[in-house]
Structure 1
Amino acid sequence: MLSRFAAASVVLARFSNAWPPAGHQQPSGPVIHVAPNTKYQGFDGIGISEAFQRSLVLHQLDTPSQNLVLDYLFSSEKGAGMTILRNGLGSSPDQGWDHMQSIAPSPPTPNLNTSQLDFIPLPRDDQYQVWLSQQALARGVKYIYADAWSADYYMKTNNNETNGGYLCGVTNTSCATGDWRQAYANKITRYIQDYQAYGIKIDYVGFLNEPDLSTPYASMQSDGQQAADFLTVLYPTLQQAGISTQIACCDGSGWEENRERLTGIQAAGAEYTLGLVTAHGYSSAPGAPFATPKKVWQTEWSTFDNLNYNWYVRGSQSEGLTWANHIQQTFTVSNVTGFLYWWGAANATDNEPLIFINGTNEVSVTKRLWAHAHFGSRFIRQGASRIGATVTGDSTNALNVSAFANTDGSTAIQVINNGNTTETVTLEGLYCPRPVQTWLTNQANNLTLSVVHAGRRGNIVADVPAKSLLSFYV
């Protein structure tokens, strides 16, 4: 079933020309005060991955279905307006299904401890991740993040791409073949250069994924000290190659698991090598901000329960309203500049993707996608900053709010009503020199344009239905 872009028009908002007018009482309902001069972190955007050959799955669709999916994910006019794409930097010696093939699948000979590798060309344009990157960039993506789940098998203590193991040469390892840190750094450098040859800049590169876990798929373990041992090799290698790509670390399986590794890197004096701190939301959800001056992204999170397309039915972990709260709180509580779901689109049987590819060219969109869209580039642009937004008069504590100021003077405010009744809210603190738009997502609406007001000075009064997300674009 091909989902259609919703375009229904429902009047939900009213505008008062001056507040309060003479003899008028202050609003009795919740008041959302926006403070444009209270600025927090910058904003890089939202994103997804198509690693583990899901780029190939997209490439196999017919052209109309390809464009539909790509527009849903990346278009700021038709879809979620995602601005970050996370690719998989492969370590597998083969192209078997679900494997991410390495550009250096075999150890060099005759000297296994050499720091130089005999690289091969990217297989099938990196399993169509080159193609996807080009498509995403053409639709407005700003950042390409390449992340390795593991080093190649011959560089590790367990001589296996899977089931954990450590990079030979870091603290507390001993490998008969020697120290493979420089070889791993050289491989990453070559991978970035290969993408440059396609005209694609990799903005960030990571060398670990969930290093607190040992898994039956590509994985490599590391604590903070061991990560620092490699960072102090990779950083100068990239610099000497004249590469501006910045290093990301460490994609811990959860927020606190990553905090532990970041703390170890800081203790080892290697934080200076990082351009980005990255963490997932699985083992522990995003919480208190990391103590770092570096930018922070939440780079992978999803659910694995039965297929769910709903916004809200019973409050399950895979519903759209749940994810709207996750996204908003990760920006407002954890102070991230970027938020990434796991797969954008995939042929899956659980909720790992935002869009299901069912059969050859059958595309079905979940409500989780539209939760992300409220934080996409349709409303929040590159260079934006999160600004102050608080709620008073919310007697049921049902409302969650966030606000972002764009460099062109526009402002996006997201209001989530987790309650069971409609809330009439008053939005104050903004000057409105342009039309004010409100956009609604709930079980019945997918980013529906509710009303457009003539631009003027004053407060905005709007009805936020129960179990809904209403965004204001001022």
Structure 2
Amino acid sequence: MVARLAIWSATLATLASGLTVNIHPSTRYQAFDGIGVAEAFQRSLVLHELNTPSQKLALDYLFSNKTGAGFTILRNGLGSSPTDPFDHMKSIAPTAPRSNNSELNYIPLPRNDEYQVWLSHQAISRGVTYIYADAWSADGYMKTTGTDTDGGYLCGVTNTSCATGDWRQSYADKIVRYIKDYQAQGITIDYVDFLNEPDLNTTYASMQSDGQQAADFLKILYPTLKQAGLTTEIACCDGSGWEQQRERLTGIQEAGEEDTLGLVTSHGYSSPLSTPFATDKKVWQTEWSTFDPINYDWYASGSQSEGLTWANHIQQAFAVSNVTGFDNQSLLFVNNTAEVSVTKRLWAHAHFGSRFIRRGATRIGATVTGDSTNALNVTAFANTDGTTAVQVINNGNDTETVTLEGLAVPRGGAGAVRTWLTNQLHNLTQGSVVDNNGCWVAEVPAKSLLSFVV
């Protein structure tokens, strides 16, 4: 017995000599909305066509807070195409009415909105709390180009001239009808966006807009939603990059329409996330990915498609850019109707999903002392139920011993503190932690992400 105690004391002394992660619960930053996934362009159809066991597996990987990433945000596509071959999102008003003053020719949601209605129900049943509908474009007959592809502008906004007149009200009416169609299916759309990457002109569904032009439509859409008695809030504008979105947000602010927004959204392609936007609105990063070949590595060479890279992107989005939500792509791949393969990027997201961080949590202060090589990045979130989740990323080449301080934890309480590890060898594997006189000590291997849950 004496020998065992001596060994245990020596272990504690060794552990306590490492780095310290200091948590500052009274230092409070932005609220936390969640982590999400985008399934537009008929990716919901791909999931629907899986056989039953594979379908359940894929859905649980994405949305389960027991066995998967615990995503709580689902981003659907609000269609504008007149037809629906694969990769197109069909409109609920695919044929032009007689004029811009005529009622639109509505049809029922095509194939359950390309099975997005089905997917929404599946996601909600697994814990999703936000449904976000995003339109890549207005219908072609509402635009300067006459097609929903290849850019162009919504007729009626600044610097447009359309022989068919102003289509802003028709576009707003269509969005309201879409939201009500989902309501009829028992689904509340929490946020709706009328633009996607409006700084780009692409060969697929796309519509361009600067900040003033977005404000021109907000003046129509906001009262139209209110008059319809809807609680859905407006998101804008899913700029292709952080600075492209900042430019559009500034234009909306200068036009005096920021108050019509409930959410500011951006992507990370054209420019990465950086300093926060000058707004008191919620901010989500709603799409950011790489177009590399499928990569299942956590860390091999430091490429942009590896899990560790994305763990750092997610953490810095919350810690530096002050986002309240983060969405991503390329998390799992489906082959035919049976095979589901998961990338390490999904497990990076899981550390920030609802398994550990709940909707309504608040990011709190977290700093590191003793880290002369700046190997560690840390964040911490306080949940409303009293639990705290701390994410520690070790970007260095050596295992680091970390002592967690600053949280009031019952000493020696069974299960009071737990850890989960993700790296090349582990996918959210529960680990061990030592109580060292009221401080909590664990090892973080090189190139790893370790979450403490207190």
Q: Give the TM-score of the pair, scaled to structure 2.
A: 0.95
Q: CA offset at residue 15 of structure 1?
A: 11
Post-superposition CA distance 1:23-58 (Å, at most 9, x none): x89954321100011110000110001100010000
Aligned residue in 2 for 1:303: 290
Aligned residue in 1 for 2:67: 78
What is the rounded CA distance, in whole Å, between the counterparts of 2:229 and 2:46 in structure 1? 34
Q: Please state if 1:93 is matched with 2:82.
A: yes
Q: Please state if 1:435 is matched with 2:416.
A: yes
Post-superposition CA distance 1:304-330 (Å, at most 9, x none): 011110000000000000000000000
Post-superposition CA distance 1:189-230 (Å, at most 9, x none): 000000000000000000000000000000000000000000
Aligned residue in 2 for 1:357: 334
Aligned residue in 1 for 2:453: 473
Contact 2:133 / 2:193 at 8 angstroms: preserved in 1? yes
Contact 1:115 / 1:180 at 8 angstroms: preserved in 2? no
Aligned residue in 2 for 1:108: 97
Change (3 A) 1:361 1:266: same
Q: Please state if 1:260 is matched with 2:238.
A: no
Contact 2:132 / 2:191 at 8 angstroms: preserved in 1? yes
Contact 2:434 / 2:441 at 8 angstroms: preserved in 1? no
Aligned residue in 1 for 2:3: none
Contact 1:432 / 1:457 at 8 angstroms: preserved in 2? no
Aligned residue in 1 for 2:427: 446
Q: CA offset at residue 115 of structure 1?
A: 5.2
Helix, strand or coil at the partner of 1:130: helix
Aligned residue in 1 for 2:374: 397
Once the two structures are superposed, the pairs formed by residues 10-159 of structure 1 within 5 Å of their partners are: 27-109=16-98, 112-114=99-101, 116-159=103-146
Contact 1:357 / 1:363 at 8 angstroms: preserved in 2? yes
Structure 1 gap segments, 5+ residues each:
1-13, 343-352
Contact 1:80 / 1:372 at 8 angstroms: preserved in 2? yes
Q: 1:192 aligns with which of 162, 167, 179?
A: 179
What is the rounded CA distance, in whole Å, between the counterparts of 2:452 and 2:42 in structure 1? 37
Q: Please state if 1:463 is matched with 2:443.
A: yes
Aligned residue in 2 for 1:347: none
Post-superposition CA distance 1:54-82 (Å, at most 9, x none): 10000000111110000000000000000
Q: 1:386 aligns with which of 363, 369, 381?
A: 363
Q: Give the TM-score of the pair, scaled to structure 1.
A: 0.91
Once the two structures are superposed, the pairs formed by residues 204-219 of structure 1 within 5 Å of their partners are: 204-219=191-206
What is the rounded CA distance, in whole Å, between the counterparts of 1:83 and 1:33 in structure 2? 28
Aligned length: 442
**What one-letter code is carried by the residue in structure 1 that aligns with 2:310?**
W
Identify the range of structure 1 (434-443 vs 266-275) with the bigger mean alpha-carbon deviation: 434-443
**What one-letter code is carried by the residue in structure 2 that aligns with 1:458?**
G
Give the fraction of aligned pairs with identical amino acids, expressed as a percent: 74
Q: Greater helix share, 1 or 2?
A: 2
Runs of 4+ in 1 over 6 A off after TM superposition: none
Contact 1:15 / 1:460 at 8 angstroms: preserved in 2? no
Once the two structures are superposed, the pairs formed by residues 226-265 of structure 1 within 5 Å of their partners are: 226-265=213-252
Question: RMSD in angstroms over aligned alpha carbons?
Answer: 1.7
Helix, strand or coil at the partner of 1:451: coil
Q: CA offset at residue 425 of structure 1?
A: 1.2
Contact 1:115 / 1:186 at 8 angstroms: preserved in 2? no
Q: 1:169 aligns with which of 151, 156, 159?
A: 156
Q: 1:327 aligns with which of 314, 328, 341?
A: 314
Aligned residue in 1 for 2:269: 282
**What one-letter code is carried by the residue in structure 1 that aligns with 2:398?**
T
Compare relative contact order (CA 8 Å, sep 6+) and give the higher one, 1 or 2.
1
Post-superposition CA distance 1:132-153 (Å, at most 9, x none): 0000000000000000000000
What is the rounded CA distance, in whole Å, between the counterparts of 1:383 and 1:307 in structure 2? 34
What is the rounded CA distance, in whole Å, between the counterparts of 1:244 and 1:389 in structure 2? 36
